[in-house]
């Protein structure tokens, strides 16, 4: 089995500053990896921690329960359909009464051990995401906890399930706990790349191996590493160029990223680095959904984060590698 770097290669810490000197950081990481005896900076995904089956099933039912929304029309699965890799495929999501959101919906797969939740990292856990996030957002579910709990509590069967699992029964904290436990189990396993990491040379073809080598040598690995190939640090969107000026259009609140959480000028345009584990299935890309295809996303990343223009052969090899990162899960449709 190949040795892998610690998943916390970039520790989850508010003291870590967003990565701005991309090529230098990539070089340091690459040298460190080489000196460590050839260990890879990406680790295989591991099966989630066991949880009571009844709690997982309750969380799954709540994830699909439209009663969490104001008009009983939107569930968590509305923006995060599990069969479709946990994304709705829209540039920005649509909530109750057709209200358009401000940001692209990230996948809910492989989220449990990420540094934080949401693009701006405004929720420090899955429980916090449920408690503070979409349910109360006027562009998403537009509800509130007293109303949602009243509707759920009017269901005697559901209420009994909570009473069986929790000493204090149906509370917003227990709703959040159940959904969080279910989402934490959404880990995609047995990808071709993970099989290769574990020693199966035939799991990747020559082009995918070339793509991985290029992914490392260009410096993509500086931010996309660990088990999730991302999700464990923050970075500025547009290190080597003015992404937002070139994109055009008015800046939105969502474009400000971490600034909305910290209020620090240095955190403008800073976002959580997304996991690439299911990137082949989660178009469109970036917080603004501006890249329609994976090839376009890789090209934009190379240009604005690395200051490089990729030859077509290199682009296609990297895309081939990225496709090898996708594993499987019982909730995930095996065919895109």
Catalytic annotation, residues: 140
Helices (H) and strands (E) in the chain, counts: 13, 2
Q: 277 CB contacts (<8 Å, ≥6 apart)?
A: 45, 109, 110, 188, 191, 228, 229, 230, 325, 326, 327
Question: CA-to-CA distance for 135 and 30, rounded, in angstroms?
Answer: 42
Instruction: Look at the block and give the residue holding tokens 């009473």.
Output: 163
Nearest to 46 by CA among 203, 184, 187: 187
Structure tokens at 261: 């959480």
Helices (H), 142-189: 145-153, 156-165, 172-184
Strand partners, 271: 235
The whole-angstrom separation of Cα 267 and Cα 276 is 23
Calpha distance 210→233 (Å, rounded): 26
Give the span between the Cα atoms of 278 and 327, in whole angstroms: 8
How far apart CA 231 and CA 215 sit, in angstroms, is: 17
Rounded Cα–Cα distance for residues 40 and 127 (Å): 32
In 10 A of CB 217, how many CB atoms? 12
Query: Across the chain, where does the E strand assignment appear?
Result: 234-236, 270-272
Task: State whether residue 334 is helix, strand or coil.
Answer: coil
């Amino acid at each position: 089995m190949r040795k892998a770097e610690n998943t916390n290669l970039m520790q989850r810490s508010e003291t870590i500053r967003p990565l701005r000197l991309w090529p230098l950081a990539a070089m340091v990481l690459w040298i460190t990896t080489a000196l460590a005896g050839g260990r890879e900076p990406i680790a295989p995904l591991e099966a989630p921690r066991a949880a009571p089956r009844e709690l997982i099933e309750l969380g799954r039912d709540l994830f699909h329960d439209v009663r969490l929304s104001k008009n009983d029309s939107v569930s968590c699965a509305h923006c995060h359909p599990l069969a479709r890799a946990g994304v709705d495929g829209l540039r920005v999501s649509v909530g109750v009464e057709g209200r358009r959101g401000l940001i692209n919906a990230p996948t809910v797969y492989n989220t449990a051990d990420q540094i934080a939740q949401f693009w701006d990292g405004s929720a420090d856990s899955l429980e916090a995401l449920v408690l503070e996030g979409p349910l109360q957002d006027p562009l998403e579910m537009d509800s509130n906890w007293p109303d949602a709990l009243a509707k759920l509590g009017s269901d005697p069967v559901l209420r009994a399930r909570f009473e069986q699992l929790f000493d204090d029964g149906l509370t917003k904290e227990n709703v959040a706990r159940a959904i969080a436990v279910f989402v934490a189990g959404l880990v995609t396993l047995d990808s071709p790349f993970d099989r290769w990491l574990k020693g199966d040379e035939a799991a990747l073809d020559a082009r995918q191996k070339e793509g991985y080598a290029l992914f490392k040598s260009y410096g993509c690995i500086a931010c996309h590493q660990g088990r999730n190939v991302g999700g464990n640090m923050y970075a500025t969107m547009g290190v080597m160029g003015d992404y937002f000026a070139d994109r055009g259009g008015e800046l939105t609140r969502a474009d400000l990223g971490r600034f909305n959480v910290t209020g620090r000028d240095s955190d403008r345009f800073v976002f959580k680095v997304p996991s690439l584990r299911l990137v082949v299935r989660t178009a469109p890309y970036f917080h603004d959904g501006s890249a329609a295809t994976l090839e376009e996303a890789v090209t934009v990343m190379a240009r604005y984060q690395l200051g490089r223009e990729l030859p077509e052969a290199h682009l296609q090899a990297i895309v081939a590698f990225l496709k090898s990162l996708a594993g499987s899960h019982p909730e995930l449709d095996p065919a895109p």
